Amino acid sequence: MRSLVALSTLLLLAAPLGAQTVYTGFTQNPGCVVGGPNMCAEKIAPQGAALTARNAFFSNLTNNVGTQNFESFAPGLGAPLALDFGFAGVATLTGEGNTEAEDPVDIIPFGRYAMSGNRYYQARASGVANFSILFSQLVAGFGFYGIDFGDIGGSVGIDLFSGGTLLTSLVVQPQVAAPGTFVPELNGGLRYWGVLYGSNTIDRVDFTLTGLPTDADVFAFDDLTVADASQVQGTVPEPTTFALMGAGLFGVVAVKRRRRK
């Protein structure tokens, strides 16, 4: 009977690993002085809560995951863009936005910059704007850095899909002020956001950006990381594995019954 209990516990412990896990953290410019000459917008290295969230996300991944940093794209390119994530496949980015080259002069007062190299993807929240990333195959993880989120009252949401079916809608950057209202503490701030599943689950992510058409919030995105289930440590067993474990469970029960007879 102890073998039966042990196997049942293994099934119960394995199942939660397939659940959705979100990692997110925001770091304000540590040199921010409201009303100061930098308007709280200057390039900062990964640090604080954003770096903690990024490290927590990556702590569950192997070292060979694919990350897109837009360095291979010329500035000013609009969608569609072909993105390469290595072992996790390729993806197509469609919708609003364009690639951009970092301009040190423009970081103050605009607050947008790259995390790797000097290029990133940016999108403008003119009313409601959207862009999507469609993966060539189901993947288990997706993460990215977001820069300059929400400083003009905008917000960022993300929808996760599988085979055209909406799995969940999540808030990446909440709206902290009325659209068009400048929030200097968020100017040039750094956010990391990532989601992991225990199995290859999602094949599309949709970004929804909200703001005022006349005074739009503009967001920067960089270091997009995608992981296949085999690159996620502690991956939940596939359905066939559960079937095998179930067969083993019935085997244990059968052996116990024979011994009693």
Query: What tokens were used for 161?
Result: 């899909």
**Residues 237-252 pLDDT 10s:** 443 333 333 333 333 3
pLDDT of residue 91: 98
User: Which band of pLDDT confidence, cut at 50, 70 and 90, is reported for residue 18?
Assistant: low
pLDDT of residue 251: 39
- In this predicted model, which residue has the larger pLDDT, 249 or 213? 213
**Residues 87-134 pLDDT 10s:** 999 999 999 999 999 999 889 889 999 999 999 999 999 888 899 999
Q: Indicate the pTM of the whole model.
A: 0.82
- Residue 140 pLDDT > 70: yes
User: Once rounded to an integer, what is the mean pLDDT over residues 1-30?
Assistant: 57
Of the candidate CATH numbers 2.60.40, 2.40.50, 2.60.120, 2.40.10, the domain formed by 20-236 belongs to: 2.60.120
Whose CA is closest to 206, among 175, 149, 167?
167
* DSSP E strand stretches across the chain: 21-27, 66-68, 81-84, 90-95, 98-101, 119-125, 128-139, 141-147, 155-162, 165-173, 190-196, 202-210, 217-227
**Residues 176-208 pLDDT 10s:** 999 999 999 999 999 999 999 999 999 999 999
Distance of alpha carbon 205 from alpha carbon 96, whole angstroms = 14
| Domain coordinates in residue numbering, the chain | 20-236
